[in-house]
Amino acid sequence: MIADPCALTDRQAAVLEFIRDYQRENGLPPTYRDIGLRFRIGNTNGVHCHIIALRKKGFLKRQRYSHDRLILADNENERLRKRVAELEARVAELEAQR
């Protein structure tokens, strides 16, 4: 499932952008506390609600066996897009050989 950016609220989009930027700069995703500090969310439950919404909408994935690790879903989508492009190129190549 490829996530639809139009499905996000402004706040959810800001949280997602923060997670992407933080991960790009630090090599790891932010903690709930990092997100809470950035957006002035007083407790981790408030952050958790945003994370759950982003997961339900397909923008984040939950890492297996880890309750607090955030995984950006578009990383996996990008791999899938590349693989599909490779397969389409291969099909086109085989059809051209006919």
Residue 34 maps to a domain: yes
Residue 98 domain flag: no
66, part of any domain: yes
- CA 92 to chain CA centroid, nearest Å: 31
Q: What is the pLDDT of residue 81?
A: 61
CA dist 19 and 6 (Å) reads 18
Tokens standing for residue 64: 């297996």
| CATH code at position 20 | 1.10.10.10
Confidence class for position 1, pLDDT limits 50, 70, 90: very low
pLDDT one-digit tens code per residue, 21-75: 998 888 888 999 999 999 999 998 999 999 999 989 988 887 665 555 677 776 5
| Continuous segment of H or E residues that includes residue 52 | helix 44-56
How high is the pLDDT of residue 64? 61
Instruction: Note whether residue 84 is domain-resident.
Output: no
Helices and strands counted in the chain (H then E) = 4, 2
- pLDDT higher for 60 or 82? 60
Amino acid letter, residue 39: F
pTM score > 0.85 for this model? Answer: no
Distance CA 47, CA 34 (A): 10
